[in-house]
Amino acid sequence: MKKKISKLLIGTNNRGKYKEIKDLLPKYIKTHSTSEFKLKSPREDGLTFIENSIIKSKYFSKKTKLICLADDSGLEIDILDKRPGIYSARWGGKKGDFKKAINRVYSELSKKDKNWKHKKVKARFICALSIFYLEKKIATTLGKVEGHISAKPKVMDVNSKKIIVDKNFNIKKVLYT
């Protein structure tokens, strides 16, 4: 019989992301944040969303001796050769300013094609999740939501998902299915 997880470290220093993940988990799971342990994020030098997710979950688990769930997510835009991809957060600068990142996306699209706003620019939001306990990988998964870049940001509450349009957009489904 598999044992249920009763304590879980959510491997992020982003308070909004911490709350978002915590709210999706069953209430019986006691969650911990990296700030409780005064941990900075590790260097994300993986080449894929899954690799970066594993880097974080493994690092935080080893530091705290807790089971850790971590993610890596971002936006891929076809006409930008799948950029920003794993560098999505970096497009927002050191402080992770997502308005800045969105403006850069629009700027890069305009450099590539001045008429991009009148076309359906294919893109996808990708989220990789991993769960580690010390050196043992428990699970990894990758989810994608296909869509198009909107000419103006839509009102949504999470990062690069502000500019991707999908008629059945469901944030919980995007991140955690």
Give the H/E segment covering residue 56. Answer: helix 49-64
Backbone phi, psi, residue 41, to 5°: -70, 145
- Alpha-carbon distance of 20 to 112, in angstroms, equals 34
- Residue 169 CB coordination number (10 Å): 15
User: Is 45 annotated as catalytic?
Assistant: no
User: CA neighbours within 13 Å on the CB side: how many for 11?
Assistant: 30
Looking at 23, 45, 71, 72, which residue is catalytic?
A: 72
Backbone phi, psi, residue 106, to 5°: -65, -40
> Residue 65: which region, alpha, beta or left (left: phi > 0; alpha: psi -120 to 50)?
left
Q: Which two tokens stand for residue 15?
A: 């308070």
**Which residues are known to be catalytic?**
72
